Each structure stands twice: as structure tokens, then as C-alpha cells.
Structure 1
């Protein structure tokens, strides 16, 4: 459970970073939509069960709001639909969707909600949050 939380928190933070890293935070102020049409959520695990594992989620949505006057009031919200996980290996996909990992039948959404956004540079911020 803890590994899953840290993994998805990292994914969510990395997803948010391109918006922050592209331009100065003050110039990036505004609201942004995260969708599969223009974004991706991918993962990789080295040496899982003897070999590596890589995959992606086909369905997700989210938003980023950057507050120019107070970056600390900025928000990142991401929802991932775990039934959309894909590795290109049907057996692995079924295992990931099962109650051993995501339990997608009983937990149809994984949500990341930022609890703080802290400027760490002119073009970057550290996003921390809650994963449920």
C-alpha cells in the first residue's frame, strides 16, 4: 500500500511538473486540464518478479490551477481509473486490476489531491498531496 501511494504521488507530481517547468511560475498562472488527449501517465518497475515491468493508464483526468499571487494556493487534482491499466501483457494487466494490487472492481478511482504547493525555484514547485 505504501509503495503504491509513493508511486502514484510521484506520478502525479511528475505529471504536474511540465506545466511548472515550461515557463516561470508567474507566467504559467491559470487553469489547465489534464486529459489522455494531451498527457500520459506511465509507470515502470525494475526487476519485478525477475524482469522489468512498464505500463500506462489509458483513462485519467485532472486539473492544475496555478495561482500567480500565491503559489501556495495552487492546486493539482488527478483521478486515475485503474481498470485502464495496460502493460501489453493480458495476464499482468488482470493481476494489476485484481484485489492483489488495485482492486479496480471495488476501487474504480485513484485520486490525488494536492495539500500543498511550494515554490522551489523560478520555474519549479514541489507538489505534495493525498492519494486515496
Structure 2
């Protein structure tokens, strides 16, 4: 999915959960590709769970620590970057049967709201566009500020998407409709 985003996106919004000793105005953060992992898992009858990841993505987060609700996240994942450890199966996932990467090269997430849940978590709501179809997605994100890393935020999120809602119905019902997503990342202040 994703130049994704999904990387979640939401996590970034989490910036509002960081201590208010930082700048009061919105600051921009960039997702660190070297410290980001966008993983997915899906079940199919008679087969072990398929696990994979997306390797190419980018994202930016605007964080207003004083007013987290003014924060925003934009995330893009290159659908052709899907990797499941098998070249032929990866090609099949990039085909029109699933990601249709030639026609839909990007999976995009754009936040519509960010809500602070606690000092270490936020809920990011937004719109996920996959296969040219846009649907709402809400993600709870855990946020940490690594010790000694004033210009870095780390976050993690888990969610799932209903692939049928985006028109990705190949293999159903033998292939599950739910795709589990796990995103771990770090963002650096620009």
C-alpha cells in the first residue's frame, strides 16, 4: 500500500502527545525511510498466513503541540514496492488482480483529524485511497520520544483494512477480506 501512509500517518499526528516544551506552532516532520516498516498480513484458506511489506514510501507530518487537533499527516506508499519474499508472488500482487500497480502506483493516506488520547497516543482519522477508491480509515498510534533524540519521534500503529471496500476482491472468500497492517516508524523534524 502506501508511497504509503499509510505509515501511518496517524502516528505523526501523535506529535501532540509529546511534551509541550517544544515549539508552540506547527512544525513539519519527515518520515525516516530507514527506520520505517510498513508490514501486512492476510489469511487464506488452506495456506499459511501471507506476510509482506512495502519498501518505498514517503510522508510528512505537521504537528501543533499546543493544539493537536490542528496536526496533519500525509503518507504515500508505492504499490509496486510490495515484497512478500517471492518474485513471482510479488508480481501477482502487483497485477490487476490485487494492487494493479501500473494503473494505481500510489496508496495514499491524508488525515482529516487528529485526537489526543493520552500522553503517548493519538487517534488519526483520514482518507485512504487504494485502487482509485477512497474510504475513511482511523488508526490509533503510540508515540514515543526516544531519550536524547529531541528532533525525533517514534511511533507504531496497527489497523486493518477491508480490501473488498476498495474493490480488491480477487480470491474472496478463500482469501480473507481483512488485511492487517502494522506500521513502525520514526520522523525527523525539518
Q: Which has the larger radius of gyration?
A: 2
Shift of 1:81: 0.2
Maintained 8 Å contact 1:20/1:28? no
TM-score computed with the length of structure 2 as normaliser: 0.56
Work out the number of aligned pairs and report it.
123
The alignment's TM-score, normalised by the length of structure 1, stands at: 0.78
CA distance, structure 2, for counterparts of residue 99 and residue 74 of structure 1: 35
Root mean square deviation, CA, Å: 2.7
Structure 2 alignment gaps of length 5 or more = 130-190
Runs of 4+ more than 6 Å apart: none
Change (3 A) 1:12 1:38: closer
Asked if the contact 2:13–2:63 (Cα under 8 Å) also holds between the matched residues in 1, the reply is no
Q: Which has the higher contact order (CA 8 A, sep 6+)?
A: 2
- Shifted more, 44-53 versus 34-43: the winner is 44-53
CA change 1:101–1:78 in 2 (3 A) is same
The 3-state SS of whatever aligns with 2:35 is coil
Structure 1 pair 19–50 and aligned structure 2 pair: CA distance change class (3 A): same
Contact 2:12 2:73 in 1 (8 A): no
Decide which of 79, 88, 92 is 2:89's aligned counterpart: 92
